Structure 1
Amino acid sequence: MDEEVDTPEDPRREFAEECRSARELHDPAPLTQAHLAKLLRTSKSTISRVETCHGAIPPDIPPRLDEVFATDGKFKRLYEEAVAASYPTLYRRRMAMERAAVAIREWSPTLVPGLFHTADYARCLFKGGFPRASTKETVAFVSDRLARKAVLEGGMAPDVRLVLCESVLYRRFCPPDVMRRQLKALLDAGSRPTVRVQILPLDAPGHLFSDWPVSLITSPDHTVSVCVENYRTAGIVDDPDSVRTALRTYDELTGDALSARESARLIAEQMEKLT
């Protein structure tokens, strides 16, 4: 098999080249890697790895680069594209839709969705599914998962609505302190003006989405697509009748769920029980 060669179209390579170019062409004088590292509050070795495409890009680096070089979100965009490119092909369309979305509706019957993961929660989830994974593979997964959270930040963040089955709060696949921090992250996310978190009680009626997580993603032209994921598979449904059915089901879920305030109270109560 021929060795894979990076091309200018590779977003990870483009990120590296743009970083090096911005540093060397900085006005009024070029910046060394050490000087840039100081401005970004990181290490020279980190800048070197970023510019030579060694390892994942730390998620805090792109917004700081945009700030230092006044690049109006260019590095954030390239970073999101690089993360999306690291996912299997069948997930990439969903990732692109997520980045461009004006609204995202999430439902999960089992786990906190990836957009809201903490690093420790994501790590426990990955290691549970892939116990033989190397440290490098685990670090890459966690880094990529955290990178998805960038869509929740900035002035163009989509409106996000999340409904979780109450059982998600009680699952014990990770240590109590990890779950407590994850629940705190949910509370923090729900305090954002663009995010609403609701809990569906255990005694709620059955519904079409009972068995699997579903995302309804609204594009800038207000077209809605339904994303459904299962083991090693991901499907995107655009059929208008199916989308209408999914929207109606989601409306029923939000109607049966606790209010955002009641949900936050329940999450906080569960946090206190985790010792």
Structure 2
Amino acid sequence: MPARPRELTPDRSARHLFGAKMRAHRERARLSLEALSNVVRISRSHLSRIETAEAMPPPSLPAMLDAAFGTDGIFEELYRLASKEIHPDQFQRRMELETRATLIEEYAGQIVPGLVQTEDYARALFVVANPKATRDEIEELVTARMIRQTRLEAVPPPDLSLIFDEAVLRRGFGGPAVTHAQLARLVELAHTPTTVVQVLPFEHGGHALVGGTLTLMTLGDGARVAYEGSITTGTLLEDLGIVAERQRAYDLLRACALSPGDSAAFIRSVMEALPT
């Protein structure tokens, strides 16, 4: 006798509602999880975890469900709501502001910022940071990271300015191939109509932002906020005076960093030095 499907709780969150609607439409269409898996090209077990809200839907799934069930964008609408719930509470305000930012300026001292990480780099980073996490938990974090990056694909996208300490480029995650692909991604972003990447070499010495990360966001109405990150926590700064101080520190670093063209050449030199 087949196991009874797990009871769903659609009133708990948008993610739970997404899973409940997915099961309801699947059963209405008389599709098993296996049959739906063949349609959307996602494993049966993964679909099962999405229905029970144990896993976040990947970005490609909502449109495929709407097409399969003829639901006229319902799953894409639910997905947009659910994607706002996947970050820890202390980051939710920052994430909400990030979606409204027209300009994002970020200094990174140790790792590549989440907005421009490759999928493999993000996965390797999460494995190191969460050594006891299950494979499913790691994939959940990777999915969340990739969803966040869709902000850069908005129309129009925000302008993005990044300053990397040389340590970010030298410290690899996931092995040479993963590191090489990540650095290649940074070269692509070095100087485009909406992105600028600059490198701060070791030879510059100490500076006001060493030891942490700083993100400055300018919103559509002209308001500015700052976010300082550490290993596991972050602080959102909205006081105008404090934000101005952080902006000044960032501007000083930008003046001392290599130009975008020289930064791209510097990153390529690091790529060439990687073991093959």
Q: TM-score range by the shorter chain?
A: 0.7 to 0.9
Distance 1:134 1:54, change over 3 A: closer
For residues 66-91 of structure 1, give each alpha carbon's deviation from its aligned partner in whole angstroms, at most 9, with x where no partner exists.
8997978982x643542331222111
Amino acid corresponding to residue 42 of structure 1 in structure 2: R
TM-score (norm 1): 0.81
1:115, 1:145 within 8 Å by CA — same for their partners in 2?
Answer: yes
Measured against aligned partners, the alpha-carbon deviations of 1:196-228 in whole angstroms (never above 9, x if no partner) come to 111112122532211200111122211111101
Mark the CA change 1:71 to 1:94 in structure 2 (over 3 Å): closer, same or farther: farther
> What residue ranges of structure 1 are gaps of 5+ in the alignment?
none
Please report how far the alpha carbon of residue 11 of structure 1 lies from its aligned counterpart in structure 2 after TM superposition: 2.3
Q: Tell me the residue number matched to 2:237.
A: 237
Contact 1:198 1:263 in 2 (8 A): yes
Which residue in 2 is equivalent to 1:273? 273
SS at 2:203 equivalent: coil
Could you tell me which amino acid in structure 1 is paired with residue 83 of structure 2?
A: V
Equivalence for 1:197: 197
Question: How far did residue 166 of structure 1 move?
Answer: 1.3
Label 1:55 to 1:35 Cα distance change in 2 as closer, same or farther (>3 A).
closer
CA distance in structure 1 between the aligned counterparts of 2:140 and 2:161, rounded to whole angstroms: 27
2:4 maps to which residue? Answer: none
Cα deviation, residue 60, structure 1: 2.8
Shift of 1:250: 1.3
* Equivalent runs, 1:196-275 vs 2, <5 Å: 196-274=196-274, 275=276
The SS at the match of 1:85 is coil
Equivalent residues, number:
265
How well do the aligned residues superpose, as a CA RMSD in angstroms? 3.3
Q: Could you tell me the percent identity over the aligned residues?
A: 33
What is the letter of the counterpart of residue 141 of structure 1? L
Deviations 1:86-129 (A, max 9, x none): 22211111111112211111110111011111222112212222
Query: Does structure 2 conserve the Cα–Cα contact (< 8 Å) formed by 1:80 and 1:148?
Result: no
- 1:57-206 equivalences under 5 Å are 57-62=57-62, 75=76, 78-190=78-190, 192-206=192-206
Cα pair distance change 1:266/1:102, threshold 3 Å: same
Q: Check conservation: 2:18, 2:75, Cα contact below 8 A.
A: no
Q: 1:12 aligns with which of 12, 15, 36?
A: 15
Q: Deviations over 1:12-44 (max 9, x none)?
A: 13444676899999xxxx897968975xx6358
> Which amino acid counterpart does residue 12 of structure 1 have in structure 2?
R
Residue type of the alignment partner of 2:41: T
Query: Given that residues 164 and 200 in structure 2 are in contact (C-alpha distance below 8 angstroms), is that contact kept between their aligned partners in structure 1?
Result: yes
Q: 1:72 to 1:190 in 2, by over 3 A?
A: farther
Residue deviations 1:131-150 (CA, integer Å, cap 9, x gap): 22211211111111222111
Look up the match of 2:3.
Answer: none
TM superposition score normalised by structure 2: 0.80
Cα drift, residue 153 of structure 1: 0.6
> CA separation of 1:24/1:260 partners in 2, compared to 1, >3 Å: closer, same or farther?
farther
Q: Which shifted more, 45-54 or 8-17?
A: 45-54
* Residue 262 of structure 1, CA deviation: 1.4
Contact 2:106/2:215 (<8 A) preserved? yes
Contact 1:105–1:160 (CA<8 Å) still a contact in 2?
yes
